[in-house]
Amino acid sequence: MNAVIDRLRRTTDTVVGLDDLEARLESGRPLRIKYGVDCTAPDLHLGHAVNLWMMRQLQDLGHRVVFLLGDLTTRVGDPTGRSETRPVLTPAQIEVNAASFLEQVSLVLRTDPEVFEVRRNSEWYDAMPIAELLGLFAQVTHAQLMARDMFRSRVAAGREIAVHELVYPVLQGYDSFAMRSDLTIVGSDQLFNEQLGRHFQQRLGAPPQAVITTTITPGIDGRAKQSKSLDNYIGLTDSPRDKFGKVMSIPDSLIEAYARVYTELPLETVDALADATGPAARDAKLRLAAAIVTRYHGAGAARSELAAFRHTFPTVPNRPGCPSWSSPTTSPRPSICSARPVPATATPTSAGCCARAR
């Protein structure tokens, strides 16, 4: 397996077009990586950041993220995960949300022009004649669209599906052709739409993009995936204290999954967290919370939050080996610290309380 793909495997669920992706990586040509968002509620959380960190790794290798603001498709409304039609936003709301998205993705992604480009899908749709648009619709069948489980569920429940909702996957799919996407990294709920992207690229004579779907974990309540509406998420813009406290509140059963997906802790350390219960689970959460805060705010902030947590909950022991940053270890892989410089002189030890969690 290609070394780059192997590096991404930790948070990869499936890869569509693996052979094509390997060939493109071996060619040495910088890839164009599609990262498309609709300009709805712009509150990114750790679940979204899984994809962003994978793209960041590729940026560090010289590949370019094309950040696609779906300003036109926002007016249509993505039906994904909805049992009812989404409300339509005003142009002013769309612009405010677009600016917020750009600010938040810069917490992880590099935004220097060599590896980052911003596009809007209104660039091609506003100028597209109606005859050409109808020609796109003619390349997708009703049966293809109704194969989507979400649409089938609505029909089975007797709920309406608006025509513009059926059109949405077509528009998102064509985006991949218009922006010459080589790769997109998405949650599994977007796989249907991105498969249509491959469909259009092949129909229109372009190489089909590869699609990587990423691991999705439950929210901090242990139930549904992270969502603002359910208030079960850890936001990218949350303060270090909020991030630390929310991690400490997760069910013990999520410790291993969160460590694997949301941190860069060594996998042997992650594996040791699998069976943590009781005091060992508390120690493991301290290790996890510190690792997450370090990734986004630096080791100094993590030290402060660990001290504040122990001050608030003085029964938490400071046993040898629990995260204390008392002795430096190897420096972390360049991440947010290189994009937004913060002190990061040391990282938590990999032995001790977490190693004893089994």
More confident residue, 171 or 84: 171
| Beta bridge pairs of residue 184 | 34, 211
Angle at 69 between CA 195 and CA 224, to 5 degrees: 65
Phi-psi bin for 304: left (phi > 0), alpha (psi -120 to 50), beta? Answer: alpha
| pLDDT at 259 > cutoff 60 | yes
In whole angstroms, give the CA distance from residue 233 to residue 246: 8
Region 170-190: what's the mean pLDDT? Answer: 95
The per-residue pLDDT for range 266-301, each reduced to its tens digit, is 999 999 888 888 889 999 999 999 999 999 999 999
Q: What is the pLDDT of residue 318?
A: 56
Q: What is the pLDDT of residue 44?
A: 92
Question: What's phi and psi for 84, nearest 5 deg?
Answer: -140, 165
Max avg pLDDT among 66-80, 172-186, 221-235, 329-343: 172-186
Q: Which H, E and C letters describe the chain, residue by residue?
A: CCHHHHHHHHHEEEEECHHHHHHHHHHCCCCEEEEEEECCCCCCEHHHHHHHHHHHHHHCCCCEEEEEEEHHHHHHCCCCCCCCCCCCCCHHHHHHHHHHHHHHHCCCCCCCCCCEEEEECHHHHCCCCHHHHHHHHCCCCHHHHHCCHHHHHHHHCCCCCCHHHHHHHHHHHHHHHHCCCCEEEEEHHHHHHHHHHHHHHHHCCCCCCEEEEECCCECCCCCCECCCCCCCCCECCCCHHHHHHHHHCCCHHHHHHHHHHHCCCCHHHHHHCCCCCHHHHHHHHHHHHHHHHHHHHCHHHHHHHHHHHHHHCCCCCCCCCCCCCCCCCCCCCCCHHHHCCCCCCCCCCCCCCCCCCC
Tell me which residue of 264, 261, 291 sits closest to 187, measured CA to CA: 261
User: Which pLDDT band holds residue 78 (cuts at 50, 70, 90)?
Assistant: low
Tell me which residue of 21, 150, 153, 183 sits closest to 78, measured CA to CA: 150
Region 170-198: what's the mean pLDDT? Answer: 95
| pLDDT at 30 > cutoff 60 | yes
Q: What is the pLDDT of residue 255?
A: 95
Q: What is the pLDDT of residue 352?
A: 32
| Average pLDDT of the chain to the nearest whole number | 85
- Predicted TM-score (pTM) of the model is 0.83
Question: Can you say whether the dihedral through the CA atoms of 156, 157, 162, 166 is positive or negative?
Answer: negative
Q: What is the pLDDT of residue 88?
A: 74
Q: What is the pLDDT of residue 316?
A: 61
Region 88-107: what's the mean pLDDT? Answer: 89
| pLDDT at 69 > cutoff 60 | yes
- The region of weakest confidence among 96-100, 117-121, 149-153 is 149-153
Which tokens is 192 given?
């249907």
User: Which pLDDT band holds residue 317 (cuts at 50, 70, 90)?
Assistant: low
Q: What is the pLDDT of residue 79?
A: 54
Q: What is the pLDDT of residue 83?
A: 44
User: Which pLDDT band holds residue 73 (cuts at 50, 70, 90)?
Assistant: confident
